[in-house]
Amino acid sequence: MNVYDSGRMAEMLAALGYATTDSPDDADMVILNTCHIREKAAEKVYSEIGRLNKIRDGKIKNGNGRSILAVTGCVAQAEGEQILARAPYVDMVFGPQTYHRLPQMIAEATRARGHVLHTDFPAESKFDELGSARTVNGASAFLTVQEGCDKFCTYCVVPYTRGSEYSRPARDVLLEANELAKAGAKEITLIGQNVNAYHGSSPDGDGSWNLASLIRSVAEIESVERIRYSTSYPAEVNDELISAHRDIEKLMPNLHLPVQSGSDKILKAMNRGHSGAQFRALVEKIIKVRPDISLSSDLIIGFPGETDADFEDTYNLARDIGFVQTYSFKFSPRPGTPAAMMDAQVEDHVMSERLDRLQALLAENTLRFNRETVGKTLPVLFDRVGKQPGQMVGRSPHMQPVVVEATPEIMHQIAEVKIRQSSAGSLGGVLINAGNKERFYA
Ligand code: 5AD
Ligand code: SF4
């Protein structure tokens, strides 16, 4: 979502005459978009703003004038005052719900009225202020349909930093999806902290739409060839969404479904709203309608009270389901969350041992899955040039990077690739000589 938000900020700033640049060295303004989910990410912010300030100092010495240094995202939301106290040279601090006020904030900052701090949760929705015109960098685009979270998992800061659940009206989402398509998006990922809790007003304004209805409508946009959604809350996956995986060909057979733990005791302490068995049953239902689906997940290791037996439950779940491309993290106690105050915090070396074992399994799962892809022919959406000359890289329906020899004209196109090789991180293959795709041969 930070990628989406950064894109929207860049579009907004373009209207004020700003353009994005690859390096902070030549920037008139640097906006650091931050994440508060784990301590490590949040702590990095302070070293990063120190580094950016040094670059700015260098510029001033060279007579290039003073640039603006801004911090946004969830660290800004949660620690706004602290950032200004620890790093008084920061000019602007604003949360993820106020970036539509950027023109006003920049005016305030350049008028040298001291620090600009906007971390309220405004009554107006930023989406109404941003408008629908979109630019697309490449052929894949994110589209925020839902934001915030009311689930209050006991370890998580999101309900505090992103606010309560809000669904954009379906009409606005479809308008933006059409804009993205016009701007060249072939793949749209509908995003939200709890995207399957989506319940926006229907286009006629009379009722409410869910995520499945949105997916169906986006699938009607002809030039959109791939649809994904992220991130789902397992306890709220409904039958209509499962059926969408059977009925809508454009919906990719790859699903990120965070489970966090396989232990019923820990799931309960996390306030996740389901048991391990319920999660397994849900996965079975999804696989039944879409047997080729690949599943990725998020797993937290070392939640307070996690015993060896609880960890085994998580390990066994990850093994049995065969999660691929999965993220696993050590539990990070976050200020203000109930889990940070719980007894029986797990020692770091125990967490490390468990994490190593789990990550070895997850790597093995992904390696096996990639190996099983060899010999298959898959549609690949090409989105970058490869490391070696003459190589192009794209994504399979399962998000695996696929490397082929092809000319750059294939960029942002979907072409069929016969998979010949696999490794832990990518696949290699050859383009299938299909009609007009011939021109992509190197
Ligand atoms: N500690 C460790 N991991 C966390 N996540 C969220 N909060 C924490 C925390 N306090 C992980 C969850 C979530 C992902 C985005 O980050 O697995 O799904
Ligand atoms: Fe955080 Fe997701 Fe739980 Fe919401 S559902 S509190 S975003 S982990």
Cα of 152 vs centre of ligand 2, distance in Å, is 6
Residue 435: pLDDT band with limits 50, 70, 90: very low
Ligand nearest to the CA of 37: 1
Q: What is the mean pLDDT of the chain?
A: 94
Q: Which residues line ligand 1 (CB under 6 A)?
A: 37-38, 155-156, 258, 260, 298, 300, 329, 331-332, 334
Above 80 in pLDDT, residue 361? Answer: yes
Q: How far is the CA of 45 from the centre of ligand 2 (A)?
A: 22
pLDDT value, residue 112: 66
Ligand 1 atom closest to the Cα of residue 258 is 18
Residue 266 and residue 227 in contact, taking contact as beta carbons nearer than 8 Å: no
In 64-197, which residue ranges form alpha helices assigned H by DSSP? Answer: 73-86, 102-110, 126-130, 158-161, 170-182
Cβ contact 89:130 at 8 Å: no
Nearest ligand for residue 338 CA: 1
The set of residues, in sequence order, having a beta carbon less than 8 Å from that of 189 and lying 6+ positions away, is 140, 141, 142, 143, 227, 228, 229, 230
Q: Which of 28, 112, 115, 23 is nearest to 76 (CA)?
A: 115
Domain-by-domain residue ranges, the chain? 2-118, 131-371, 374-431
Ligand 2 centroid vs 8 CA: distance in angstroms? 24
pLDDT digits (tens, 9 = 90+) for 255-308: 999 999 999 999 999 999 999 999 999 999 999 999 999 999 999 999 999 999
| Banded pLDDT at 389 (limits 50, 70, 90) | very high
- Dihedral angle sign, alpha carbons of residues 79, 84, 90, 96: positive
Q: Which helix (H) or strand (E) holds 421?
A: strand 414-422
pTM of the model as a whole: 0.94
Provide the β-strand partners of residue 70.
31, 92
DSSP state of 197: G
pLDDT at site 344: 93
Is CATH 1.10.600.10 the classification given to domain 131-371?
no
Q: Which amino acid is residue 34, in one-letter code?
A: T
Are 160 and 149 within 8 A, CB to CB? no
pLDDT band of 442, cuts 50, 70, 90: very low
Q: Whose CA is nearest to atom 5 of ligand 2?
A: 151
pLDDT in the model for residue 25: 87
Task: Tell me the CATH class for 374-431.
Answer: mainly beta
- Ligand 1, atom 12, lies closest to the CA of 298
